[in-house]
Copies of this chain bind each other. A is one copy, B any other.
Amino acid sequence: MFKRYQLHWNVGHTRNPDDTAVERVPAMVPGAVQLDWARAKGWGDFFFGDNWWRYLWMEDEFWSYVSRLDLPCVEEGHRLIFVCRGVDYRFLVRLNGVELYRSEGMFTPFEIDLTGRAVTGDRLEVLVYPAPKSMPTPSDLTTGEESGQDVPYSKLRFFRINGRDQANQSCKPAVSYGWDFHPRLIPLGIWDETYLELRPSCHMRDVETRYTLADDLSTAEVGVEIRLSEAGPGTLRWRMLNPRGQVCLESEASASQSPLTLRAKLDAPALWWPNGQGDAALYLSRVELCDHQGLVVQRVDAMVGFRTVRLVTHPATWVEPSEFPKSRSVPPITLEVNGRRIFCKGSNWVNPHVFPGVITEDTYRHLLELVKNANMNLLRCWGGAIVNKESFFELCDRMGIMVWQEFPLACARYEGTPDYLKVLNQESCSIIHRLRRHPCVAIWCGGNELFNGWSKMTDQDLAIRLLNRNCYDLDPSRPFLPTSPVMGMGHGHYLFRDAQGLEVFQIQSQSKCTAYTEFGCPGPSSAEDLRKIIPEQDLFPPRAGTAWETHHAFNAWVEGSWLQKEVMEDYFGPSGSLEQFVEHGQRLQAEGYKCIFEEARRQKPTCSMALNWCFNEPWPSAVNNNLISWPSTPKPAYVAVAASCRPVLASARIPKFRWKAGETFSVELGMLSDLPEKTEGGPMEAWLRIGQQEEQLLLRWEVPSLEANVNIAGPIVRYVLPPVAAREMVLSLRMPDNPDRDSQYTLMYVPAVANNDNQRAVLNL
């Protein structure tokens, strides 16, 4: 029989792998050494103020986890296995000081058979090495345990911009080395489930259900590959249950050989569809190992979703330019699922916690329900972050959320040295082997922004070629992208208004990308959340050189960019309070995102994706491009994006944010539809309300019925804005027959021409 035993661990640090830690504290496993230490020392929340600075020294220590074994009795015909799903990052395992195992890489699980090797009272140790670094941290930024709170703000650029390069010879996710939205906090420790397990000697080590769908999707050839620890006298029973819980396939075989594959053919499988396109139908594939009496010794369940996925070209791809010389056409970036082209609406997913060891299924569930409710169908799991734990993918499978999964390479030049390629090979094989079972995984990608000036990698880099090779060998039916963006795709902008005065309204409508796989609009966190991270005396007004700065309001990306204080003041005037400041910033974020999502959708079918940067965040920021504040509170922009991502909606193409009296308000109406079936049209009314004035009906348009997955461009409203004492106007699109398709846009209104030059520049656009 199977039985799990949790181990009790403590942890301490040393400067030398052969020393014994002087002091040990209780360890939470899975977790992170930093959290254990801080908890023991009573440091308070790692995210408050500049507490993070106290953790810095820990990245350069060896951390020794020790557990005194208390072992069960191992009966004849059984094995006692130490099971570990992941240690972050480089480590070795010792039993009474004798090395049993050594590895590098957090994504490769391992097992150690302790049968006959360990007895109760033995000392099991997992020694975690310092965080890998291809170059040292500048000495003026290294600290010791006793360091005070004097954060050298002027020097933090290293952590925000250059720190990531230290990760360019490892598979350690680069984000924790410092990013424009992430503090310098590099987790170390046992980060995934770890326990002892008693097992029968003959047990299933790996079970994988794979299938091939017929071209017309009418049947599936299903095979279950079973690897046993050793051949045995028992029987393997396989059953497949359809989404209604009915047995639809059954087969069995003797456990006398390994590996073995059971095969069967399934007729008319219910298909797995992404959110908004149909049910995410899941089958249960259950394999049981039974002993000679027919009793179930072990059961392995897996959910199976039947679907095909390809990257296909958009209709204009093959139109050749008439001029010579001719280069190549753009690569495909339209996802086709079960033969149907899907416009991908989604977001970039980042680590939901600075210390991924503490992430649980609940962490994921709350966030992923928000993804689903935002009408999104794809998350880009960006290469700067971890590859998530199993429950993330299980939830995405259930919710129909497709995953674009990157390997852990981001924004740096990962040179193909033999040592690096070796660990990249191991880690990528582990990742592919685990995730290819999930229908939600739609795209493999080499990593983030690797073919750009700040990374300087190219198609020739061995790391990229290795990843393409491994994906081809282990999972050829899934698309592989070397990086994002590739030719035709775009990343950015990340501001509501750029330095030249261009707003998202102009930037986005001038862009002609095949996919927008990153774009951002920053907005502050709520006042309530800000109070949890900024010390009272620094709360308002926001200033550089305070916790506002380390929480990304200042000097995070472009100077002061996430805050955009000047832009806010230019539109709204100075904020009188934290609450007002938050309200102004959040409104810009919401309106900006609405514009981008709807404009990207309008560019279908030459555009195929709109994924904002970013959905969530790893710790509570002061200002960020995210939609969900840490850990899982929606910002107003979330509500706006959810509305803009509805399957079908009335939409307005708006040329600018700020309007003045006397100007002709000119917006193009349209209907956006990603519905997989034809839908009715009906009347659409455009109403404008300026300030407290009575709302005016500008136009009524009889929308024709919409073909499946096709938008319609409608008439252009033209209306001379009257002079009114107001600062705001609201455009409402109403569809009386289908009010769930209504949309609303809140814009700035100026009663007269303003005097300063900035404003005039905007007004004259």
Contact = CB atoms under 8 A, between A and B. Distances in A.
A465 interface: yes
9 contacts: A313-B456, A324-B493, A325-B492, A326-B492, A327-B487, A327-B490, A328-B451, A468-B468, A469-B469
Interface string A478-520: 0111110111111111100010000000010001010010110
A248 interface: no
Contact of A328 (B327, B466, B483): B483
Contacts of A485: 325-328
B460 A479 contact: yes
A458 interface: yes
Interface centre among A460, A481, A490, A511 (most CB of B within 10 A): A460
Interface in A315-365: 317-320, 324-329, 331-332
B329 A451 contact: yes
Given A460-B480, A462-B476, A479-B460, A490 B452 contact: no
Given A311-B458, A325-B511, A327-B487, 18 more contacts: A317-B453, A318-B452, A320-B452, A324-B491, A325-B513, A325-B516, A327-B490, A328-B451, A328-B483, A329-B458, A331-B460, A459-B481, A459-B482, A459-B486, A462-B476, A465-B472, A469-B472, A469-B473
B519 A487 contact: no
A182 interface: no
A326 B460 contact: no
A310 interface: yes
B452 A329 contact: yes
Contacts of A493: 324-325
* Main DSSP-derived SS at the A contact region: loop
A522 to B, nearest CB: 14
B310 A460 contact: yes
B466 A472 contact: yes
Contacts of A498: 324
Nearest to A327: B485
A490 B453 contact: no
B462 A465 contact: no
B325 A458 contact: no
B327 A458 contact: no
B460 A327 contact: no
A456 B318 contact: yes
A458 B492 contact: no
Contacts of A327: 485-491, 513
A491 B516 CA distance: 29
Interface centre among A313, A472, A485, A516 (most CB of B within 10 A): A472
B513 A331 contact: no
A318 B325 CA distance: 23
Contacts of A511: 324-325
B487 A326 contact: no
Nearest to A325: B490
